[in-house]
Structures are given as C-alpha cells and as structure tokens.
Amino acid sequence: MISAPKGTKDVLPQDSYKWQYIEDVARKVAKDFNLKEIRTPVFEHTELFLRGVGDTTDIVNKEMYTFKDKGDRSITLKPEGTAGVARAYIENGLSNGPLPVKMYYIIPAFRYERPQAGRLREFHQFGIEVYGSPSPLADAEVISAAALFLDRLGIKKIKLNINSIGCKTCRAEYNAKLKEYLRPHLGEMCATCRERFDKNPLRILDCKEEGCKKITAGAPRMIDYLCDDCAAHFHEVQACLKAGGTEFNIDSNIVRGLDYYTKTVFEFVSEDIGAQGTVCGGGRYDGLIEELGGNPTPAVGFAVGLERLLLLMENTGSPFPADGGPGVFFAAMDDEGRRLAFSFAVKVRALGGSAECDKMGRSLKAQFKYADKIGAKYVVVLGESEIAAGKCSAKLMSDGSITELKFEDIPQFFA
Ligand code: ATP
Ligand code: MG
C-alpha cells in the first residue's frame, strides 16, 4: 500500500465540513473588511522566496521544497503566502488602482519540518494583505480582522501579543546594543543562535531553547530603542486597538520569523494546543515590495495556520454547525420505485434542493436506517400503493410527523 507522504494529512469526507465552515467564516470576515481574494500559483521561482522571505530565516535555510523543473529552473512550493501576493501585486500593477489594496488568500503551504502536533509539511493558511497605507489604522484593522475571525469561530481563550521591531534605522542601533549584551553569553547559547548573532541578532529573541530564553530574558528591549516615528506609530496602533475594543499585551520578545517585518509585529497565541501555540502571526513589512523590485509600498498582513486553528477549536470544544444531510431520501421497494425515486431526486436537485435515493439495492428497512445515518431530513417511500395512487407521505425524521404529498407537488416541496 502506498501511504501519504510524511507530514501531510488527508481531510476525510466526514471531517471536511469543519474545514468548509472555517473557510466560510474566513471569507465572510474578508468580505466584511472589503478584502478581495487573490490566488497566486502554488509554486514560484525560488529566487522570490530568497528575496521575499529572507535568507537568514528558518524557512529559506532549512524548510523549502525546492526542485529543478524539466527546464532546469529552480522552483519552490510556496512556504507562505505573502511573497507570492507581493510579486503578483507588482507584476500586475495593482498599485495603479485605488489604495489601499486589500486582499486575502486561503492556501496550502509547504515546509520541510519535523512533523508534530500543529506542525506539518503541507499545511493551510488564511491570510490577509493590505498594501499602500502607512497608517497605524491599517495595522489595527488587520489585527482586528484576525480578532474578529477568531471570535466568530467561538475561540475565547487566546491572547493577542504585540510588539514593534522598529525600522532599518532604529533597529540597527538596537542590534548593536543587543549584540553588546549577548556577546559575553555566546558560549552558552545554541548553535543556531550563535549563527544568528552576526546575521540577524534580533531573531535570537525568538529562540525556544531554554538556555537561550534565560539569557534573552534580561536583554535590552527593542521598544525602548524605537525612533520617534516608530514609537509614535506603535503608540497609535495601541490607541486604535483600544478604540476598537481589542485587548492585547505587549510582548517585547516577539520578532516574527520572517526578515521583511518592520514596526508592528503580533501573534495570537493559545495555551491549549501544546508547544506550537502560535495560531496567527502577522505584522507590517514596509520594505518587502521594494525588496522585490516594486515602488516603496507600505504593507501589513497576517497568516493564520488553519490546522492549528482546527486543533484549538477541537481541544476547547468550539462549536461546529452540524454537517447537514440531504433534504430528502426517496426510498423504494422495487426497480420501478427506484427509477421513480431517481427521477424525483433529479427534479428536486434541479430546483436547488438536495436529495438522495438508493443505489445499493437495500431493503426498505435498510434504506430507512441508511437515511437516518446520513441525516436525511425527510424520507419518502415510493411503494406499489403510492405509485398506484400517485401520492405519498413524507416523514420528517426529527419527530416522525407526516406530510401527505401528491407526486406533482414533490419537487417543489423539497426544493
Ligand atoms: P512557528 O514559530 O510555529 O514555526 P512560524 O513563525 O514559522 O511559526 P509563520 O511563518 O508566521 O509561522 O506562519 C503563520 C502561521 O502558520 C503560524 O502561526 C502557524 O499557525 C502556521 N504554521 C507555520 N508553519 C506551520 C507548519 N509547519 N505546520 C502547520 N502550521 C504552520
Ligand atoms: Mg516555523
């Protein structure tokens, strides 16, 4: 037997309604925020992610699904959504339309990671991208979209942590201070952090190793070194969040994994799904579009990991609406009845109703059992006497009540 590749997961027919529900809520939130869907390819030129995600990130260093296609081009399955959207934005001249350009996506993403709870090699993200506005209102709006999405899914126990990692100018000054603090401890730090020290010291704050965490606990904080512009921006983001009634904590250790972030960064974190507790991550990345060859364009967005979200909903008992069965099951006793059942099912569906009929040659009793199992709302028996009389009774399965129906009224009744 051939099994699915490690780190991938099938969504089975009995579970897909949960995914559809989450996606429906995501699309409704997007609509309520005037975000339009953007669909970009599942694979891109590897170069896009080297530049758009950054070559000091875990994603680029260790996690990409990169291969040569038959034309000897280096291709990568997208490990995240933002780089592709930014490329499409530039390539299609979207900046010529009214600003800000507000987009969302629901995508599969691919990262070669060690599979564990909440960490897969193929996973899914709902993300939003707002391009063209430097205003803190855009940051706050993006955050409030994530908050509303989680709230509509009934998720109560989740924390929003925010931070600012400044801009090129103030971060350079801070990096120097941070390195000064970390240098004497370098010997006690993990190999990855020792590497990060020169390339991107800020990311050391993100390390999950206990030893490193102890050291960074006393490190200087970026928010104490923000330039006037970044400090004012961060202050205003907080004021907007408060004005909108979104609760948050400031966590000076959030830096986000990707290189292109500037100013605001944020995460929604849960304690109910184990070590991989970050359900949503986002922030501002004003340098990205320019890095990819576009005109300087402020940008802000987030991505929610849908597997982690689902895990959280299941672990905390968030309600899913029931997966509805067909509106009616037409049961039959013989071949003539089955043909009639089939024709009624066709007519009901033609009018927009949902209907089912027997295709397994089951006995009448077994058909009732099956109709119950699949959650049919009504069952109609088309036996000899019904056919002779041209009418039948529809049984409402929830309470057993009966409605008498003439054959000609059937399609309309169940439509
Ligand atoms: P982590 O710190 O958990 O590795 P990350 O910083 O790499 O997360 P992002 O690149 O910000 O994650 O992706 C946004 C969201 O996508 C994460 O918060 C998480 O919910 C989800 N995610 C990231 N990687 C995976 C994965 N391998 N499997 C499942 N979900 C993932
Ligand atoms: Mg990661």
In a domain, 191, yes or no: no
Domain boundary among 292, 316, 340: 316
Residue 1 included in any domain: no
Same domain? 73 vs 152: yes
Are 348 and 400 in the same domain?
Answer: yes
Assess whether 350 and 306 both reside in one domain: no
Last residue of a domain, one of 259, 288, 316: 316
Report which ligand 1 atom has the smallest distance to the Cα of 282: 11
| Same-domain pairing of 311 and 350 | no
Q: Answer whether residue 222 is part of any domain.
A: no
Q: How far is the CA of 67 from the centre of ligand 2 (A)?
A: 20
- CB crowding 87-109: b at 16 or more within 10 Å, else e: bbbbeeebbeeeebbbbbbbbeb
- Please work out whether the CB of residue 112 comes within 6 Å of at least one atom of ligand 1: no
Q: What is the pLDDT of residues 208-221, one digit of tens each?
A: 888 999 999 889 99
The bound ligand whose nearest atom lies closest to the alpha carbon of 267 is 1
Backbone angles phi and psi of 393, in degrees to 5: -115, 140
Mark whether 239 and 129 lie in a shared domain: yes
Of the ligands numbered here, which is closest to the C-alpha atom of 283?
Answer: 1
- Kindly state whether residues 152 and 255 are assigned to the same domain: yes
Do 304 and 385 fall into the same domain? no
pLDDT digits (tens, 9 = 90+) for 92-133: 999 999 999 999 999 999 999 999 999 999 999 999 999 999
Instruction: Give the CATH number for residue 303.
Output: 3.30.930.10
Q: Give the Cβ contact number of residue 238 at 10 Å.
A: 19
Ligand 2: centre distance to CA 126 (Å): 16
Same domain, 296 and 404: no
Q: Are residues 261 and 381 in the same domain?
A: no
Residue 197 lies in a domain: no
Q: What predicted TM-score, i.e. pTM, was given to this entire model? A: 0.94
Does residue 21 sit in the same domain as residue 75? yes
Residues of the chain with pLDDT under 50: none
CA distance 244 to 145: 11
Please indicate, yes or no, if residue 376 is contained in any of the structural domains. Answer: yes
Structural domain tally of the chain? 2
Query: From the CB of 63, is ligand 1 less than 6 Å away?
Result: no
Q: What is the pLDDT of residue 257?
A: 65
Residue nearest to atom 9 of ligand 1 (CA): 281
In a domain, 382, yes or no: yes
SS3 per residue for the chain: CCCCCCCCCCCCCCCHHHHHHHHHHHHHHHHHCCCEECCCCCEEEHHHHHHHCCCCCHHHHHHCCEEECCCCCEEEECCCCHHHHHHHHHHCCHHHCCCCEEEEEEEEEECCCCCECCECCEEEEEEEEEECCCCHHHHHHHHHHHHHHHHHCCCCCCEEEEEECCCHHHHHHHHHHHHHHHHHHHHHCCHHHHHHHHHCHHHHHHCCCHHHHHHHCCCCCHHHCCCHHHHHHHHHHHHHHHHCCCCCEECCCCCCCCCCCEEEEEEEECCCCCCCCEEEEEEECCCHHHHCCCCCCCEEEEEEEHHHHHHHHHHCCCCCCCCCCCCEEEEECCHHHHHHHHHHHHHHHHCCCCEEECCCCCCHHHHHHHHHHCCCCEEEEECHHHHHHCEEEEEECCCCCEEEEEHHHHHHHHC
Ligand 2 centre to CA of 273 (Å) is 16
Q: What is the pLDDT of residues 399-415, one digit of tens each?
A: 999 999 999 999 999 99
**What CATH number is attached to the domain comprising 388?**
3.40.50.800
Residue nearest atom 29 in ligand 1 by C-alpha distance:
119
Same structural domain, 364 and 304? no
Task: State which residues form the domain around 340.
Answer: 328-414
Q: Is 66 in the pocket of ligand 1 (CB under 6 A)?
A: no
In terms of domains, do 162 and 238 share one? Answer: yes
How many Å apart are CA 159 and CA 149, to the nearest integer? 14
Report which protein residue has its CA nearest ligand 1's atom 21. 305
Q: Is 78 in the pocket of ligand 1 (CB under 6 A)?
A: no
Is the minimum distance from the CB of 111 to ligand 1 under 6 angstroms? Answer: yes
